[in-house]
Structure 1
Amino acid sequence: MELGLHLTNFALDTPSERIGSRLAEVVRTAEDSGFSVIAVGDHLWQSPWLGRVEQNALEAYSTLSFIAAHTSRVELTALVSGVHYRHPAMLGKLVTTLDVLSGGRAWLGIGAGTSTGDVEGYGLPFPPLRDRYEMLEETLRICRAMWTGERGGAEPVPGKHFHVERPLNAPQAVRNSRGGTHPPVLIGGDGERRTLPLVARYADVASLRPGPDLPAKIALLDRLCAEIGRDPREIRKSCAFAFDPGPGGGGVGQVLGQLKWLADMGIDLVIGRVAGVDDLEPLRVLGREVIPAVAEFGATASPVGPDRIHRP
């Protein structure tokens, strides 16, 4: 199992002039501590579930580019970009640019999306959920076309909501230029009727919700992969989380127990918020006492879990 850091409520009340320097310290410490992925939330206002909407919220792809400049190894993703925020070709270009400038470390993290009030407040389009699922599949097809060949596809990509006449993409993503397929695609959500079929067809990483139904969700995803002739082992199973090692590391045992539970249900990547991340020491504690231990965890199915788990 590997751990990733999810920055969703970083520097809620930090003065603007100090946010950049503090963020640089956080991400360098996370990388030095052994986190394999750094993810950022993609909302324009702070989530009301994590604070007040008036508190600090940074734009995702500007932030990921900044993080790329202050790290050298961690993978970089939004968790996740709502499909309604950007035209698919613009999103594909953003992820490609991040990939090129970071040396091949970008992922496309995407989902049907929600609103924190920012959509309504800014007057942005927010189509009905059914339309957003259609937009999600069209976006995945357009990005796949952009990541085809040396400079993107040559044929138009038509759709109900979007039409791309020429999915030209130069420079191409680093993974493509090295003979790979494309930046990894992470799809957020575990809905059985709409989301998991898209995960089976398009995703390299599934971002699932922690809970006792995880084995059933993973089993369904495996069946959906089999139906289209895809090896389910090609898709990493991840979930969101919240790490709280506690004062002086007093909560490490509980964190390890929760992560072992997730590993036993088939999860091999956990991307979580860290309580007190601005203080840096919780990151160091996780690096010393948790990340080396969970690297030994295997992923085998088990429906049994602890009474409590930190929810993201």
Structure 2
Amino acid sequence: MKLGLHYWNFTTPTEPSAIAPTLADTARLADQAGVASFTVMDHYFQMEGSAAVDEPMLEAYTTLGFVAGLTERMTLGVLVTGVMYRHPGLLAKIVSSLDVLSGGRARLGIGASWYEREQRGLGVPVVPVAERFERLEETLRICRQMWSDDNGPFAGRHYQLAETLNVPQPLRRPHPPIMIGGGGEQKTLRLVARYADACNLFGTGPDELAHKFDVLRRHCATEGRDYAEIEKTVLVTRPPFADLDAWLAEVAAYAKLGVTEVQTMPDRHPVEFTQRLADEVLPRLADLD
């Protein structure tokens, strides 16, 4: 079982001048300890309901570029990129740049986006949910085309590109892994079956995840896709150090369903949290392999 660190909060410690050194120390420690992936959110305002909306937040891909220069092993990605925040041609180039500069460690995590307060606040177009999914599918097609030998035009309903030139190409071949986040059964999991190398679901419990995987399996059958090719990843929202045995039991149940990576989120100073991951969690996760 691989472990990912989801760095969702830039508030601890409270001084803005401490954000960069704390992020740097956390990323280096995680990389050296054997954490498999490092992810950040694609938000510009902090998420209401999780914390105060005006708490510090950094732009995702700028943050990952910073982390790339400090680390050597971890996969780097956004959990997950909001489809409305970047034109798909530019997104493909951004992820390509991250992949080249990190030595082939980028992963495109992407979803339909949802946080309308920040979209309205910053002038991002707010469109109906159905259109967001149409744009998500076109974005996936554009990224795959830009990461191929086809540099010709793309003509979609929402996006038209005269040429999909992308030089340099990502180091990771055939392309950076595509991970689609979300558990929507009619649209999201169908797109996973059609386009993705990995899916990401919330850790809502083994029974719920087993159901979602059954839905994904049916979509794979319809699409002619091998279900086993798709990596299953889960964001476990339970804080691990509130009850580590319970957390590990939950992760073990996900492993039996075929999950190969879980992500966890700091609930305290991120350096302290990451040190405890190294000392207490990673050695026990190794026993689930």
* TM tier, smaller: over 0.9
- Partner of 2:140: helix, strand, or coil? helix
CA RMSD of aligned residues (A): 1.6
**Unaligned stretches of 5+ residues in structure 2:** none
Report deviation, 1:232: 1.2
2:116 aligned with 1:128: no
Q: Deviations over 1:92-149 (max 9, x none)?
A: 0000000000000001110001116211111221111100000000000000000002
TM-score (norm 1): 0.88
Distance 1:51 1:120, change over 3 A: same
Q: In the alignment, residue 160 of structure 2 is paired with which amino acid? A: H
Question: What does residue 259 of structure 1 align with?
Answer: 251
Query: Does the 8 A contact of 1:108 with 1:183 survive in 2?
Result: yes
2:182 aligned with 1:185: no
Report deviation, 1:12: 5.0
Question: What does residue 229 of structure 1 align with?
Answer: 224
Matches within 5 A, 1:102-251: 102-115=102-115, 117-149=117-149, 153-175=150-172, 180-211=173-204, 212-242=207-237, 244-246=239-241, 251=243
Q: Deviations over 1:201-253 (max 9, x none)?
A: 1111100122222112112212221222221111110111235343xxx7322
Query: Does the 8 A contact of 1:137 with 1:198 survive in 2?
Result: yes
TM-score (norm 2): 0.94
Q: In the alignment, residue 219 of structure 1 is paired with which amino acid? A: D
2-side partners of 1:182 and 1:127: how far apart? 29
Match of 1:293 among 280, 284, 288: 284
1-side partners of 2:168 and 2:77: how far apart? 19
Structure in which a larger fraction of residues adopt helix: 2
Q: In the alignment, residue 203 of structure 1 is paired with which amino acid? A: A
2-side partners of 1:94 and 1:154: how far apart? 17
Query: Does the 8 A contact of 2:116 with 2:126 survive in 1?
Result: no
Question: What does residue 50 of structure 1 align with?
Answer: 50
Query: Does the 8 A contact of 1:245 with 1:285 survive in 2?
Result: no
1-side partners of 2:215 and 2:48: how far apart? 32
Distance 1:116 1:288, change over 3 A: farther
Question: What does residue 270 of structure 1 align with?
Answer: 262
**Unaligned stretches of 5+ residues in structure 1:** 299-312
Query: Does the 8 A contact of 2:12 with 2:269 survive in 1?
Result: no
